[in-house]
């Protein structure tokens, strides 16, 4: 089968398409013919080996995982001997965290993992663009325990995590303020934001408004900068930055404003099923910026590396040898 591999850390050019052995499912696994996946900021960081400290986990001199990619949507090709939840021919979507491997024609995944039937009527490319951003957003905003009447500001509301967080916060009943660049204002408003701030024209930390929660969906803010914009008892929700681990512990003991940084994030079947239900209820949609065929992985990755994408970048996978 074809797969995108890399044997060294570096720029997008280290990625290449190669024929590799087709995996065989274990007793508790399903073999999935992947029809679509995504290129995420996690993929970019892993490929580049950044931050350097991460290499103590991913491989100090070279990557331990040659094939990247976590999101997937496709068709069950075969099932292990103990699998009863899925059958051959089922359309499925989900995420394969920590093991990766979705940038390929086929992938084996535990049936009990973060995998579920594809939402009714949803095409593969849209289904593939759901889980990574949405589950990371769920992990980030859950500590805020949002409810009707609360106010949350989402910084970076046009990215993969941000577009998901806007919709999820709305589904929990919160009033949502999104912060994004000029070109994404109408998109963020269409996702349900009650107010949208143009980050190129206004600094939300200086307008005097306060919020029950502030989510930094892109990792560019700091707690110290946002503290004055939080209400008493408010919470700063981080998605990046190791310093936020220390601040989570520190603010739990000192002061009335908290930092929450859920590391490691949890990826569960229950969350995939929850997202499926939201989609089928018309309360969530995947946002796709660009689509590339698998053969254009280098170009797709270069675009993700610009950090200018809106929502998700999708890889479509078609190979007539396996159709």
* Chain segment 242-271, per-residue pLDDT in tens: 898 899 989 988 889 999 998 889 999 999
Q: Tokens 């990619």 identify what position?
A: 69
pLDDT of the residue at 322: 40
pLDDT at residue 319 in the model: 59
Would the pLDDT of 165 be above 50? yes
Of the chain, the percentage scoring pLDDT greater than 90 comes to 89
Q: What is the CA radius of gyration of the chain?
A: 20
Model pLDDT, residue 184: 96
State residue 311's pLDDT score.
95
Give yes or no for residue 321 having a pLDDT over 80. no
Lowest mean pLDDT among 15-19, 95-99, 205-209, 316-320: 316-320
Domains of the chain, with CATH numbers?
2-130+286-322 (3.90.180.10), 133-260 (3.40.50.720)
Average pLDDT over all residues of the chain: 95
CA torsion sign for 148, 154, 157, 163 is: negative
pLDDT, position 323: 39
């Amino acid at each position: 089968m074809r797969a995108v591999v890399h044997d060294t850390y570096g720029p997008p050019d280290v990625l290449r398409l190669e024929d590799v052995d087709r995996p065989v499912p274990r007793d508790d696994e399903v073999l999935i013919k992947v029809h679509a996946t995504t290129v995420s900021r996690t993929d970019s960081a892993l490929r580049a080996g950044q931050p350097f400290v991460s290499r103590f986990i991913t491989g100090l001199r070279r990557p331990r995982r040659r094939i990247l990619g976590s999101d997937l949507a496709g068709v069950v090709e075969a099932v292990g001997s103990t699998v009863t939840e899925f059958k051959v021919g089922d359309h499925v979507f989900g995420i394969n965290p920590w093991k990766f491997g979705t940038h390929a024609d086929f992938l084996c995944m535990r049936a009990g993992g973060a995998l579920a039937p594809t939402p009714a009527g949803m095409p593969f490319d849209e289904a593939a663009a759901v889980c990574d951003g949405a589950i990371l957003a769920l992990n980030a905003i859950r500590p805020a325990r949002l409810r009707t009447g609360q106010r949350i500001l989402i910084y970076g509301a046009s990215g993969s995590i941000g577009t998901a967080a806007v919709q999820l916060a709305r589904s929990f009943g919160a009033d949502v303020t999104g912060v994004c660049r000029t070109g994404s204002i109408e998109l963020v408003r269409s996702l349900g934001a009650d107010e949208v701030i143009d980050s190129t024209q206004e600094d939300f930390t200086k307008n005097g408004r306060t919020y029950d929660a502030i989510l930094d969906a892109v990792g560019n803010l700091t707690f110290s900068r946002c503290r004055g914009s939080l209400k008493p008892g408010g919470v700063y929700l981080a998605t990046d930055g190791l310093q936020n681990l220390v601040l989570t512990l520190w603010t739990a003991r000192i002061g009335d404003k908290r930092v929450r940084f859920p590391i490691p994030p949890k990826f569960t079947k229950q969350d995939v099923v929850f997202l499926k239900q939201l989609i089928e209820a018309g309360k969530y949609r995947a946002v796709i910026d660009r689509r590339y065929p698998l053969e254009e992985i280098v170009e797709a990755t270069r675009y993700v590396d610009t950090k200018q994408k809106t929502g998700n970048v999708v890889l479509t996978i078609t190979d007539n040898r396996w159709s």
